[in-house]
Amino acid sequence: MTLPRTPSFRLDGKRALVTGGTSGIGLGCAVALAEHGAYVTLAARNVDRMKDAASEMRAEGWTVDTVTMDVADIASMQAKIADAGPYDICVNSAGYARHAPAVDTTEVDFDAMTDLNAKGAYFLAQSIAKSLITAKKPGSIVQITSQMGHVGGQERAVYCGSKHAVEGYTKAQAIEWGPYGIRVNTICPTFVRTPLTEQTFKRPELVEWIEDKIKLGRIGEVEDIMGATLFLASDASALITGTHILVDGGWTAD
């Protein structure tokens, strides 16, 4: 009898691009990949914060570099990815949220959210896939969406719509790029404590709503997303594409 062996979670020799990788969930994703051997490129708009994050990661002995990138600036983003050569892994954690009642949504806010969360996510995945196809290499693309890509939420109509869009893009891209060995999946977190969510947790009525909806009884932490990221980036998920992992504490179970 030949016993099966667990596929490796190691990422040695892999190049990984992590957008929005300087804080919160994005930084957690970058650390998860670097810890397991990937050469990580942090991509963000905030140069100073990006340099600080890279410096701290290098101090851990990990291989990290940086690129200034605005995912919503499609032409610039495409050029930078084309110049850098193929990334084996891409984790897109760049995102924007400005919450308001649906009757108060402004066109400016609508465009800002959809330009980054939906349009930017689409063309980022396209750019990564093009470079992999040209190089005849397989790869893994992971979009950080949200549980709000599967349900609705108060004061989040546009945000929900942008995340639902990426869930749809992902399924279609997975179908088209599967023959090239390129996998495309999403991770859908619940509310997670990060610098960007501090204001949410200062509103008692929202905290009550959140805690009531999360069946495991606690708000998410960045570390809760890291294992799912590593799994989808590695050979441990080699037959998984066109789907999502809900890291939502049971929010969407009912």
Q: Is 147 exposed, middle or buried (0-12, 13-18, 19+ CB in 10 A)?
A: buried
Residue of 39, 96, 122, 159 with catalytic role: 159
122 is catalytic: no
Q: How does 5-20 read in b/e, with b if 16+ C-beta sit within 10 Å? A: eeeebebeebbbbbbb
- Distance in angstroms (rounded) separating the CA atoms of residues 79 and 100: 34
- Distance in angstroms (rounded) separating the CA atoms of residues 112 and 154: 19
How many other C-beta atoms lie within 10 A of the C-beta of residue 112? 16
- Distance in angstroms (rounded) separating the CA atoms of residues 193 and 249: 14
How many other C-beta atoms lie within 10 A of the C-beta of residue 208? 10
Instruction: Mention every residue, 6+ apart, whose C-beta is less than 8 A from residue 176.
Output: none
Catalytic residues: 159
